[in-house]
Structure 1
């Protein structure tokens, strides 16, 4: 991240790691592959869903969103931002990012929200609604960071958590 995406080279990575360039190519085909591998490892723990038994569903959801917001400020979050930018320009990067990290993280987010709702005896929602709720949960954060390049404040986190839970309750009461 010191040099930006375009300044990052396999040669530079090899030099910094103190290995030959061929060693890097033995494990990865491109700098995108290297960044994706590190992103997956770093994000797994940083974006993990956790439940505090003494907290409400809204507090637990806001806590998770705060971790997402904090992640965007960390080096791994900056890697994600760089890869998302590159994915707009290069279809191979887009496919790798979507079929790898983003798909896995999406599955963790759907599972995490489902378990949070069940744990806190919130309404049970169907899978399609759950999928939409994840969009509504994370969309504002990604929009704030990726479109406006602005930090995610606590008000956005709290409002988003509250609104998603309200929609979950409303969608379950509207179901036949």
Structure 2
């Protein structure tokens, strides 16, 4: 983040972007509309971000906060349940869900944006999952030959599939997915 950013203006811009995306969708908002709602000039936004997608990506990434961190209680299934339930809460009660869905859609015609979404949202989660499952394997919480990549794809892929297709995302659903994924890997 450039040192010249005014934190109050930056926060107003990100808040405006995340609130507008849920209401109007990606194509329904513009830099001008974000600037108007945030009470800043569009030049301020363009000085700090190269595009509308970059503004929305930063707003979405910031809203993730500590939600995506996988806790470590010594029970990998309980820890993933906690994390996935928090992710569902974020998706269903904040502007993150609509923002993420719009970023994925816009990324289909903007490969730079799609790469940035992967680098800033998806890749850190992959690394956290890899590290947490490696620790679980070392501790005997799951088999050492369990394929963590396939497990990750099943757990998070289901959430993304349901999000992208507008299907219900309910916390109780997580238990079924965890049972299916861990049935063959628990020690």
State the TM-score, normalizing by the size of structure 1.
0.80
Give the superposition deviation at 1:28. Answer: 0.3
Query: 1:95 and 2:115 equivalent?
Result: yes
SS at match of 1:167: coil
Give the superposition deviation at 1:59. Answer: 2.7
Query: Is the 1:40–1:101 contact (alpha carbons within 8 Å) kept by the matching residues of 2?
Result: yes
Between 104-113 and 7-16, the greater mean CA deviation after superposition: 104-113
Larger relative helix fraction: 1
Query: Is the 1:118–1:124 contact (alpha carbons within 8 Å) kept by the matching residues of 2?
Result: yes
Q: Which residue of 2 aligns with 1:13?
A: 34
Query: Is the 1:141–1:152 contact (alpha carbons within 8 Å) kept by the matching residues of 2?
Result: yes
Q: Which residue of 1 aligns with 2:179?
A: 162
Query: 1:84 and 2:104 equivalent?
Result: yes
Number of aligned residues: 165
Query: Which structure 1 segments of 5+ residues have no match?
Result: 171-176
Query: 1:105 and 2:122 equivalent?
Result: no
Query: Is the 2:137–2:144 contact (alpha carbons within 8 Å) kept by the matching residues of 1?
Result: no
Give the superposition deviation at 1:113. Answer: 3.7
Give matches, 1:104-143, under 5 Å: 104-115=124-135, 117-118=136-137, 121-125=140-144, 129-143=147-161
Distance 2:124 2:78 in 1: 25
Q: Which residue of 1 aligns with 2:8?
A: none
Query: 1:37 and 2:58 equivalent?
Result: yes
SS at match of 1:168: coil
Query: Which structure 2 segments of 5+ residues have no match?
Result: 1-20
Name the Cα RMSD after superposition: 2.4
Query: 1:151 and 2:168 equivalent?
Result: yes
State the TM-score, normalizing by the size of structure 2.
0.76
Q: Which residue of 1 aligns with 2:81?
A: 62
SS at match of 1:8: coil
Query: Is the 2:97–2:163 contact (alpha carbons within 8 Å) kept by the matching residues of 1?
Result: no
Query: Is the 1:133–1:168 contact (alpha carbons within 8 Å) kept by the matching residues of 2?
Result: no
Per-residue CA deviation, residues 54-86 of structure 1 (Å, 9 max, x unaligned), is xx4433322222112222212122211111121
